[in-house]
Amino acid sequence: MYTPSGGVTKTGKGLFGGAFIKHFPLIPVEDDGRLHNPRFRENFIERMFVLKRWQKLKKKGASMKGLIDFHTDHKLLIMAHSPKHYSLLGTLIANTKKNKRENLFSEYIRNLMEGLKLIATVKKNTNALQHIQGYFKKHLTSDEKQELLGTIESYRKEFIPLVVPVTLLNHYVRKFNISYLERQYYLKPHPVELMLRNHV
């Protein structure tokens, strides 16, 4: 981008970028330089997969059940990005009967993508991990509880990457068949082969 005096600035989206965002506000856009940062890269790709699932839902037909199921599957993912949007979208879903379907769907996805733009920090991820941990309190042995607590605490202190506690939680989800957690995209937001959570 150029400044009024003719100089070049690295800030801003540029003429094409600005026009693209204006016409396609839901499509994730990220600066090339920021994609070298693991957190920004993971956030960007995560949003792409969420939008892909949304488009798949819309292609099936915009049913209220479909929207509620979609929201349920993404609850913990939303929580990890923005507690504010987690609450806002929950209220929106709870008041489905008061909103026209067209307005509800457009408002939902607009707020969802807005919330997911916010980076899932270590603090917010820790909150989500501890929330998931609560589902196992009646299933885990004393040693397993200590292992899980210690793993989440090590992540909180940034000794280990996010993939470590998430892998352990996924193990317990499979072991104890926790159906609600099996649906949660927070535990599997994108293909594991991408290894995006190995560095965040």
pLDDT along the chain (200 residues), means of 10: 49 54 64 86 96 95 91 98 98 81 90 98 98 97 98 98 98 97 97 88
111 and 41 in a common domain: yes
Rounded CA-CA distance 45/136 in Å is 29
Domain that holds residue 88: 37-116
132 and 109 in a common domain: no
Residue 110, domain member (yes or no): yes
126 and 184 in a common domain: yes
44 and 103 in a common domain: yes
178 and 111 in a common domain: no
126 and 108 in a common domain: no
Domain end point (choices 71, 89, 116): 116
106 and 127 in a common domain: no
83 and 105 in a common domain: yes
Residue 15, domain member (yes or no): no
162 and 128 in a common domain: yes
Residue 18, domain member (yes or no): no
110 and 60 in a common domain: yes
Q: How crowded is residue 48: how many other Cβ atoms within 10 Å of its Cβ? A: 13
129 and 145 in a common domain: yes
Domain end point (choices 101, 116, 131): 116
pTM: predicted TM-score of the whole model, two decimal places: 0.85
pLDDT score at 185: 98
Residue 94, domain member (yes or no): yes
Residue 194, domain member (yes or no): no
Domain end point (choices 52, 85, 116): 116
Residue 134, domain member (yes or no): yes
Count how many domains the chain has.
Answer: 2
pLDDT score at 7: 47
129 and 101 in a common domain: no
